[in-house]
Structure 1
Amino acid sequence: MSADNKEVVRRFNIEVIQNGNETEFHALMAPDFINHSAPQGMPNGPDSMWNTFQNVLRPAFSDLKITIHDQIAEGDKVTTRKTISGVHSGTLMGIPATGRDVAISVIDIVRVEDGRYAEHWGLNTLSNVLAVLSKA
């Protein structure tokens, strides 16, 4: 089961986040999914995740790439340490394109249920990246 759950998370990262595949997103996302990392007062269901990838990250970064460094699975949870990288070629949260290479470090914990994302917790360095880009 741990290997299967790791593959679900790997597939989500590559097919959904990196490649923007909406069909895979719906196949891998439980309808009652909860994103525990959503900002307080913001939506935390499946659509909030899709919105982040499609309306925030993908328009801001060309050559978007996910590099998975480590995955650890125990029970129904998978922890992944990864980097989201690309070229800042579009507006990112109000910051105009700089043409700079960017890398966001991420640690995610995903609870997988029946081969789908059921819950997500995560930490990332996006705020650090925004601080650097705003000074460029």
Structure 2
Amino acid sequence: MPTHSQLNKQIVRRFNQEVIAEGNLASFQELMDEQFINHSAPPGADNGPQGMIHTFNHILRPALADMKVIIHKQVAEDDLVTTRKTITGTHTGTLMGIPPTDRPVSIDVIDIVRLRNGKYIEHWGINTLPVVLQQLAKKLSEL
């Protein structure tokens, strides 16, 4: 029988595959607590559930064809799961103001999720998206 930590890791893996990689709204609703807080949301941005799904379905997915999430490592303790992952795709749509370059993109991410009753309740994270945006802008200026 899986431990509490193992079950939490499975939930986070499922969220990464079904919600981030696939954009499945039914899975998002099932796995997201309505009181969720994203502590890593940019200042002034929606730090609740709708802000989180907006990032995936209206910013990343339209810009990155064939988007995938590769989980490298997970560590779980109590109600927290830390995940080191890479979000990959091909830059075929506008990404935060940067027109398509048709180049491969890899965004490295480390996030911590707190779960309550099998649902996301809090998130903290860091990622390399700012570096990726700089690299894409540089590639455009070289063309």
**TM-score for the superposition, normalised by structure 1:** 0.99
2:126 maps to 1:127: no
Aligned residue-pair number: 136
Q: Map of 1:1-136 to 2, 5 A cutoff? A: 1-136=4-139
Unaligned runs of 5+ in 2: none
| 1:76-123 CA distance string (max 9 Å, x none) | 000000000000000000100000001000000000100000000000
Runs of 4+ in 1 over 2 A off after TM superposition: none
Which of structures 1 and 2 has the bigger CA Rg?
2
In the alignment, the residues of structure 1 paired with residue 44 and residue 88 of structure 2 have an alpha-carbon distance, to the nearest angstrom, of 28
In the alignment, the residues of structure 1 paired with residue 138 and residue 59 of structure 2 have an alpha-carbon distance, to the nearest angstrom, of 20
**TM-score for the superposition, normalised by structure 2:** 0.94
| 1:24-66 CA distance string (max 9 Å, x none) | 0000000000000001122100000000000000000001000
Unaligned runs of 5+ in 1: none
In the alignment, the residues of structure 2 paired with residue 25 and residue 36 of structure 1 have an alpha-carbon distance, to the nearest angstrom, of 18
Pairwise CA RMSD? 0.4
